[in-house]
C-alpha cells in the first residue's frame, strides 16, 4: 500500500516536471527596465522599456564593418575572447562550435565573438583563427575594434572584461555566452566552459525562434 502511494507520488512529480519542461517555456528578459507612459489615441498607456544592446561598430574576420543594424532580424549569441588565450577560450569555442554547427544553415541565428586583444587579433589573425576552427560564411563573426569600445560594450552584455598582467595570457574575462533576441534584449547567459550549458543555449535559441511575433513586436 505504502509502495503504491509512493510510486503514485513519484509519477505525479515526474509528470508535472516533464509537462512544464518544454511546451510553454518563455525565456526571461534580463537587464534594467523602466516604465514609460505615453498617450496613444487619447489614452494613457504604460509600457515597459527593456535594456537593449547599444550600437557598436567593429570589423569582422572578412574586414567588413559590422554594427547593430547588421543583426536586425537575427537572434545572436555574443562572447568575449582572444585568439592567444591559453585558459578558457579553447573550451568555450569547442562548445560554441556545437551551437554553430546546429544553426549555421538557419539564416536567423548569428554568433559574435569579440576579441578583447585587438592589438594582436588583427583582421587576418581572426580570419586565420576562423579558418582553423572550420568556420565559413556569415553565421559566426569574429570582431575587433577599439579596445575601449569592446570593453564598454561588454558592460552592456553584463560581462566583465579587464586587462590583468597577472592572469594567464594577460586578460581576465568571464567565459559567458550571452543570448540576444531580435529586439536586442538579453534573454540568457550561459557558462561557455560547460558543455551542458551549450546544450541549454541551443535549446533556448530554438525557443526564441518559436517565440510568437506578438511578443517580439513589443
Q: How far is the CB of 18 from another protein (least distance, A)?
A: 29
Q: How far is the CB of 120 from another protein (least distance, A)?
A: 12
Contact 194, 95 (CB under 8 A): yes
Q: How far is the CB of 132 from another protein (least distance, A)?
A: 4
Rounded alpha-carbon distances, angstroms, from residue 209 to 20, 182, 213: 19, 9, 10
Q: How far is the CB of 95 from another protein (least distance, A)?
A: 10
- Which residues in 175-214 contact another protein (CB under 8 A)? 193
- Applying CB under 8 A, does 133 fall inside the site for another protein? yes
Using CB under 8 A, which of 56, 81, 129, 190 touches another protein? 129
Binding mask 141-180 for another protein (x = CB under 8 A): ---------------------------x------------
Contact 189, 179 (CB under 8 A): yes
Phi, psi of 112 (to 5 degrees): -120, 115
Q: How far is the CB of 167 from another protein (least distance, A)?
A: 12
Using CB under 8 A, which of 7, 12, 64, 90 touches another protein? 90
Binding residues for another protein, rule: CB under 8 A, are: 84, 86-88, 90-91, 93-94, 97, 129, 131-134, 168, 193
Amino acid at each position: 500500500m505504502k509502495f503504491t502511494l509512493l510510486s503514485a507520488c513519484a509519477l505525479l512529480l515526474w509528470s508535472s516536471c516533464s509537462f512544464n519542461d518544454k511546451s510553454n517555456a518563455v525565456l526571461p528578459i534580463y537587464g534594467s527596465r523602466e516604465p514609460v507612459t505615453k498617450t496613444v489615441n487619447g489614452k494613457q498607456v504604460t509600457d515597459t522599456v527593456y535594456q537593449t544592446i547599444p550600437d557598436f561598430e567593429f570589423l569582422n574576420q572578412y574586414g567588413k564593418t559590422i554594427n547593430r543594424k547588421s543583426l536586425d532580424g537575427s537572434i545572436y549569441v555574443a562572447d568575449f575572447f582572444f585568439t592567444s588565450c591559453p585558459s578558457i577560450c579553447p573550451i568555450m569555442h569547442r562548445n560554441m562550435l556545437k551551437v554553430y554547427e546546429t544553426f549555421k544553415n538557419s539564416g536567423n541565428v548569428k554568433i559574435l565573438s569579440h576579441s578583447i586583444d585587438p592589438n594582436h587579433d588583427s583582421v587576418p589573425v581572426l580570419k586565420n583563427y576562423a579558418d582553423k576552427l572550420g568556420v565559413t560564411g556569415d553565421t559566426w563573426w569574429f570582431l575587433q575594434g577599439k579596445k575601449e569600445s569592446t570593453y564598454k560594450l561588454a558592460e552592456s552584455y553584463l560581462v566583465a572584461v579587464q586587462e590583468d598582467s597577472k592572469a594567464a595570457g594577460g586578460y581576465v574575462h568571464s567565459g559567458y555566452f550571452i543570448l540576444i533576441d531580435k529586439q536586442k534584449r538579453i534573454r540568457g547567459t550561459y557558462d561557455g566552459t560547460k558543455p551542458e550549458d551549450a546544450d541549454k543555449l541551443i535549446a533556448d535559441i530554438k525557443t526564441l525562434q518559436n517565440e510568437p511575433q506578438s511578443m517580439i513586436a513589443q
